């Protein structure tokens, strides 16, 4: 197994086939640095799982102390598409930037395809993590 980042939608009926995102999970720190260099939001800024979802995944209770309700956060697909376009272009221009650039670009392109479908269906999204 391993850690994987995947796209979740606020509309359950939206079924989009895309990759599991393991290469993105392995490269997330490098991708966040690249996003900062490019002047776009880092991918982790789109993390939006609810506290309940994370607690279920971990099998333990999580206490939220910052006063938030712990609800899921949802984002506009257009914002994510802009970030993905910037990251994909940068990695295609300089593949040696990451050890597994080709795999990461494939995952990012799959995310973009999912967000294009979400935009068509007027759905919101967030990045989620699975172990």
Q: Note the pLDDT of residue 55.
A: 47
CB burial of residue 41 (10 Å; 0-12, 13-18, 19+): middle
Q: DSSP state, 47? A: B
Q: Above 70 in pLDDT, residue 123?
A: yes
Q: Note the pLDDT of residue 130.
A: 81
In order, the DSSP letters of 59-96 are TS-----SS-------B-HHHHHHHHHHHHHHHHH-GG
Q: What is the pTM assigned to this prediction?
A: 0.85
Q: Note the pLDDT of residue 131.
A: 75
Contact 73, 48 (CB under 8 A): yes
Query: pLDDT digit string (tens) for 61-86?
Result: 545 555 555 678 899 999 999 999 99
Q: Above 50 in pLDDT, residue 92?
A: yes
Q: Note the pLDDT of residue 17.
A: 66
Q: Note the pLDDT of residue 3.
A: 86
Residues paired with residue 5 on neighbouring β-strands, in sequence order: 129
Q: Which of 8-17, 19-28, 65-74, 86-95 has the highest mean pLDDT?
A: 86-95
Domain spans, the chain: 4-130
Q: Note the pLDDT of residue 68.
A: 59
What mean pLDDT is predicted for residues 13-41?
A: 88
3-class secondary-structure state, position 17: coil
Nearest to 104 by CA among 17, 15, 43: 43
């Amino acid at each position: 197994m391993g850690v994987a980042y995947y796209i979740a939608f606020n509309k359950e009926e939206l079924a989009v086939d895309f990759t599991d995102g393991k290469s993105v999970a392995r490269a997330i720190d490098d991708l966040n640095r690249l996003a900062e260099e490019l002047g776009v939001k880092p991918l982790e800024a789109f993390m939006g799982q609810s506290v309940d979802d994370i607690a279920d995944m971990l099998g333990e209770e999580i206490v939220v102390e910052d006063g938030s309700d712990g609800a899921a956060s949802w984002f506009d697909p257009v914002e994510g598409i802009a970030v993905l376009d910037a990251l994909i272009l940068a990695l295609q221009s300089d593949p040696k930037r990451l050890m597994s650039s080709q795999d990461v670009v494939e995952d990012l392109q799959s995310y973009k395809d999912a967000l294009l479908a979400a935009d068509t269906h007027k759905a919101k999204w967030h990045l989620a993590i699975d172990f």
